[in-house]
Amino acid sequence: MANKKGVLALAGAAVGLGVGIAAERSMLKRRRLNDPQAGERFGTRRGERSQKIILRDGAEAFIEEVGPESSRGVVFIHGSALRTDLWHYQMPGIGGQRLVFYDLRGHGLSERGEAELSILTLTQDLEEIIDACRLDEVVIVGHSVGGMIALEFAIAHLDLLGSKVKGLALLNTTYGPAVETLAGGAAIARFERVTRRPFDLLGTQSEKLERLRRVIRPSDAIFWSVAYAGFGAGASAKQIDFTYDMLSETQADVIFELIKAYRDFDVRDRLSEVNVPVLVIGGTQDRLTQSHASEYIATALPKSDLHVLEGSGHMTMLERHRELNELLEAFTLDVLGPPGAA
């Protein structure tokens, strides 16, 4: 009798699981069918001009841009495991300004190179990108780790603030070790410190992990994971799929090295030195860099304009692109002036 009850319980659990999976698939199907962004051709929009430059260690960096060939412009830095395609809704133009987009080393069409993959290295790369594009006046827009790079660059080049660097726009970024501003940051930070050695050991197996990633097919579970981590409630299914595609195409060793690089990043004691206008954007449903990080940055900066977008997750340039573009247009006009061939 006991065995029979056990079999019936397992059968009931299996039926319940099957019903749950079917319901989840049905919900996802409806979400895709009713998605207003379903017709967007993500990953196909390209700049008007492109080039590759050789960085100091011999690695090639991919750059593309739109707008007038001016000495004033806006440089966009994407986040970890993404690429220039992320700026799908910004690439058509922001207020007629010159816009420069580039792939971080090891991402998209930029080579990994031999240099250590650290915030310092990526900050030095940014300097080379600005010089290669011959920008005399620049606004730097950074998303997530791109915002960390923008802050590090500003602090490393205080002498350029106000003259060459006219302003920053910091989207969904943080001021210190990224793990501290995740949802549940305090507990996760403690766990991360305990698991650093096995995590780093796992990173040495990146080739095996890469082979495993190639055979794992995208699943509904992966979709919901990306949706929860990166987006607010009700976000576009097409945008979520697009984000997963970018994440899956970034090499595992690059992801592991960047995660290690975040551990030592901390600029909270130097934010008061960044004395240029800064547009700070956060989202109330951002679980990767919670909105309190944006609020902290804005409070510590001398000249900040904070906007926390209600219901937005980590990917504001996608899910709240209209509001973001309006904010960027007004900000760049204010700090760079009208676009032109200056």
**10-residue mean pLDDT series, the chain (342 residues):** 48 38 59 89 96 98 97 97 97 97 97 95 98 98 98 98 98 92 54 46 52 57 89 94 92 86 92 98 96 98 98 98 98 94 58
What is the token pair recorded at 289?
């860099």
Model pLDDT, residue 256: 83
Looking at residue 274, its pLDDT comes to 98
Residue 190 confidence (pLDDT)? 44
Q: Is 103 left (phi over 0), alpha (psi -120 to 50) or beta?
A: beta
288 secondary structure, DSSP code: S
pLDDT at res. 206: 53
Q: Whole-angstrom Cα distance, residue 280 to residue 258? A: 23
The three-point CA angle 209-124-300 to 5° equals: 95
d(CA 93, CA 95): 6
Q: Could you give the CA distance from residue 159 to residue 225 in angstroms, rounded to a whole number?
A: 43
Q: Is 165 helix (H, G, I), strand (E, B) or coil?
A: strand
Q: Output the pLDDT for position 260.
A: 84
Q: Residue 16's pLDDT is what?
A: 41
> Do residues 105 and 120 lie in contact, with contact meaning Cβ atoms separated by under 8 Å?
no
Say what the alpha-carbon torsion angle 84, 87, 247, 120 is, to the nearest 10 degrees: 60
What's the confidence (pLDDT) of residue 262?
Answer: 85
| Tokens 């209209």 -> residue | 322
Helix 145-156 to helix 119-132 angle (10° resolution) is: 70
Going from N- to C-terminal start, the domains of the chain cover 1-34, 49-336
- For position 338, what pLDDT does the model report? 94
The pLDDT value recorded for residue 191 is 39
Which pLDDT score is estimated for 198?
A: 54
CATH code linked to domain 49-336: 3.40.50.1820
